[in-house]
Amino acid sequence: MTDQAFARSPRPAPCPSASLAVPARLTWKDAGGAVRFTSVRTREVSESGVVVECDSSVALPLYRLVHLQVEKTARDVSGLPQQLRAGRVLSAVWQVAPCKPSTGTPAGYALRFMTEPMSRDEARRAS
């Protein structure tokens, strides 16, 4: 996935982000109400959202609500926002990357957290 994959649609207000590759899991309910999940890897993380790469053949529609949870083994990684250390974070699919020719499904997603970002003071107190 290239950095230009998400360049086509408008971006939210800039928030400092960091390149950070950690394993995570997305869970959501499909149209029939069944719980679905897939493993992903973060690519870029900020206090307001994250870009994830998805190797499985999962197609999530724009604006789908999902829960993002970083794997327990990666929660202590330096640079990870406090809300991702705490557990599941409700997020919305903000942008969808172009489809991979091999699977016909998107290569990744940009997710916006549906929670308020923690201030630096709040983050220090929580850790």
The pLDDT tens digits of the residues spanning 10-69 come to 444 456 778 999 999 999 999 899 999 999 999 999 989 999 999 888 899 999 999 999
Sorted by where each begins, the domain ranges of the chain are: 18-126
pLDDT for the residue 127: 57
What CATH number does the domain located at 18-126 have? 2.40.10.220
> Measured at the alpha carbon of residue 34, what is the angle toward residues 31 and 40, in degrees to the nearest 5?
90
Across 11-20, 96-105, 115-124, which has the greatest mean pLDDT? 96-105
Q: Which of 49, 44, 56 is nearest to 18 (CA)?
A: 44
For the chain, percent of residues with pLDDT exceeding 90: 57
- Angstrom CA distances, 35 to 18, 45, 98, stand at 30, 25, 25
Q: pTM score, two decimals?
A: 0.78
What pLDDT shows up at residue 23?
96
Distance CA 90, CA 26 (A): 10
